[in-house]
Amino acid sequence: MRNKSVFFFCLVLAALSACKNSEKTASKTPSSDGTVLDQNISYALGMVIGSSCKEDFRGLEIDYNALARGFREYLEDQKTAITFEEAVAQVNSVFNEIEKERSETYREEQRSFLTENGKKPEVHTTGSGLQYQVTTEGTGATPQKTDTVRVHYTGTFIDGTVFDSSHKRGQPTEFSLEQVIPGWTEGFQLMREGGKYQLFIPSELAYGSQGSPGGIPPYATLVFEVDFLTIVK
């Protein structure tokens, strides 16, 4: 799984929800050190924990009674039906398979987008798979791979969600074409200074199967509105 600790927080959330709805749930819930948490605080705790794992549990049908039983037996040091190591192995196996299915669905969405986008007459596709659309053709020089360029840009996912923007920061960005993702390196060498393009970059020319810690998921197609200001001398 992407984050085992998040998953176990999710187990706590689900167990708290089950305990809340159980006929055996008392009005007060003692913690491990004897402190008593009233139902309002316990409920609030469940909401806070749930905020960390809502997406991981979305669409899953959970047997909350069985989940609550495992939660209670482990928390109270009772004899459990399986060992903790076995539990971890089972959970990871199931969620790895779920993640694999979700990943494949996401990859297919990205591929379908590029296939349909490439059919538009105004969109050009290079041999590498990079797609671009000319908004304004520039009149200046064309950069080489070793050049540094100054640009304004907005980056979005295919659903239009913005993940980065120099415009929001209020100033253009400078970077070497040797130090960016391949889609940018290739795309800017198609442009001239003063040009404005839209780049549609498949994951193979972006962050691939690993994604980026900055919020780019694995296999993401990236869309950039780029305003090529100048080559930095």
- On whether both 125 and 208 belong to a single domain, the answer is yes
Q: What is the CATH number of the domain that holds 147?
A: 3.10.50.40
Instruction: Determine the pLDDT at residue 117.
Output: 96
Going by the DSSP 8-state scheme, the letter that residue 162 receives in this structure is: E
Please tell me the distance from the alpha carbon of residue 83 to that of residue 205, in angstroms, as a whole number.
44
Between the alpha carbon of residue 230 and those of residues 43, 96, 139, 179, 203, the distances in Å are: 56, 46, 11, 17, 27
Domain containing 195 equals: 121-232
> Please, is 156 exposed, middle or buried when counting C-beta atoms within 10 Å of its C-beta (0-12, 13-18, 19+)?
middle
- On whether both 14 and 72 belong to a single domain, the answer is yes
Residue for token digits 């994604």?
Answer: 211
Among 28, 57, 81, the domain-final residue is 81
- On whether both 226 and 135 belong to a single domain, the answer is yes
| Any domain includes 92 | no
Going by the DSSP 8-state scheme, the letter that residue 29 receives in this structure is: E
- On whether both 220 and 136 belong to a single domain, the answer is yes
Please tell me the distance from the alpha carbon of residue 17 to that of residue 184, in angstroms, as a whole number.
47
- On whether both 133 and 75 belong to a single domain, the answer is no
Among 81, 106, 132, the domain-final residue is 81
Within 10 A of 138 (CB to CB), how many other CB atoms are there? 18
Q: Is the pLDDT of residue 90 over 80?
A: yes
Q: Is the pLDDT of residue 132 over 90?
A: yes
Going by the DSSP 8-state scheme, the letter that residue 129 receives in this structure is: S
- On whether both 74 and 126 belong to a single domain, the answer is no
- On whether both 55 and 129 belong to a single domain, the answer is no
Q: Across the chain, where does the E strand assignment appear? A: 28-30, 36-38, 124-125, 131-136, 148-156, 162-165, 173-176, 196-201, 222-232
Cα-Cα-Cα-Cα dihedral sign, residues 45, 46, 49, 51: negative
- On whether both 142 and 208 belong to a single domain, the answer is yes
Residue 5 pLDDT level (bands cut at 50, 70, 90): very low
- On whether both 77 and 126 belong to a single domain, the answer is no
| Any domain includes 106 | no
| Any domain includes 152 | yes
Q: Is the pLDDT of residue 6 over 80?
A: no
Please tell me the distance from the alpha carbon of residue 136 to that of residue 91, in angstroms, as a whole number.
52
Give the predicted TM-score (pTM) of the model: 0.68
Residue 45 makes CB contacts below 8 A (sequence gap 6+) with 16, 37
Q: Is 66 left (phi over 0), alpha (psi -120 to 50) or beta?
A: alpha
Q: What are phi and psi of 37, to 5 degrees?
A: -100, 125
Residues annotated as catalytic (active site), given as ranges: 153, 163-164, 181, 207, 224
| Any domain includes 10 | yes
Instruction: Determine the pLDDT at residue 29.
Output: 52
- On whether both 140 and 68 belong to a single domain, the answer is no
Among 30, 50, 81, the domain-final residue is 81
Instruction: Determine the pLDDT at residue 20.
Output: 47
Q: Is the pLDDT of residue 177 over 80?
A: yes
Each residue of 15-66: pLDDT tens digit? 545 554 544 444 455 555 556 567 888 788 768 766 766 777 777 787 878 8
Q: Is the pLDDT of residue 107 over 80?
A: yes
How many domains is the chain partitioned into structurally? 2
Each residue of 184-228: pLDDT tens digit? 999 999 999 999 999 999 999 999 988 998 789 999 999 999 999
